[in-house]
Amino acid sequence: MVNQQLLDYIKQQTQQGVNNEQIKQSLLANGWQNIDIEEAFNSINYSAQGQPISNFSNKAPVQIWKIIIVSLIGAVAIGGGIYFASKTFSKSKEVPKVSNEVLNQSPTSKPIETVKPSEQPVKEAQSQNPEIVFADKLNSCTKYKITFKHPITGEILEKEVLGIVSGKCDYVEQMPNGGKMECKYSEGERMVAAQYYKDVATAESAGTSVNANSGSGEQKTTYTINGKVVDNPLQEAMNTGVCVISGY
């Protein structure tokens, strides 16, 4: 006898558009006998032609529900797979959004540090030794005047570079007791004199001593720099007439 559940299943599959061969293969895969399947199809065809359907015995109801459950699970799985695939495909088309903040940042950019100027006061240059400045002025014959302490008497006197006069460097130096020495240096002579003044200014010690010959009464002046006796170009200049002393 044809099982009613088998008939219902075949009718349901037929209404859903599944052809007879697919229905048959599905039933065979689930343990139904080919003879029962053919009988069910024949019964459905006979009923469709207007003939009464005989009462059939109930056979293997558990297998029918098994087929139905398996079919439902397959439909759900297929539908879920299609849905998942469509979502994945749509996501792959989406262009990731990048904020303007990220685009405007350079990967190598660093915060700009404000460099503050040094707050330490600038040290004022120490005043140069005026005797050294005087020596440089005499070397270039540039007008310049300073005061100095006479090495023998200790008087505070003045000496002055007057500049080039008639091709010579005119130099005037006060002497003790109102005297004056005036020199008209050539270029070479003033450079030698300027070096002597600079050596005295930078020396650790410098001195002048006057010795008189008791027999002849002649005086001899000795000049020393750092304990060493040196020639004074002023003395040589007076001997040659380059420097002339007046006022006595």
- DSSP assignment of 81-122, as one string? HHHHHHHHHHHHHPPPP--HHHHTS-TT--PPPPPPPP-SPP
Cα separation, 116 vs 21, whole angstroms: 91
pLDDT in tens, 56-66: 334 444 455 45
Residue 203, class by beta-carbon neighbours within 10 Å (0-12 exposed, 13-18 middle, 19+ buried)?
middle
pLDDT in tens, 88-140: 444 444 444 444 444 444 444 444 444 444 444 434 333 578 989 999 999 99
Of residues 233 and 92, the one with the higher pLDDT is 233
- The pTM assigned to this predicted structure is 0.45
User: Hey, where are the domains in the chain?
Assistant: 4-90, 130-246
Residues 6+ apart with CB under 8 A from 117: none
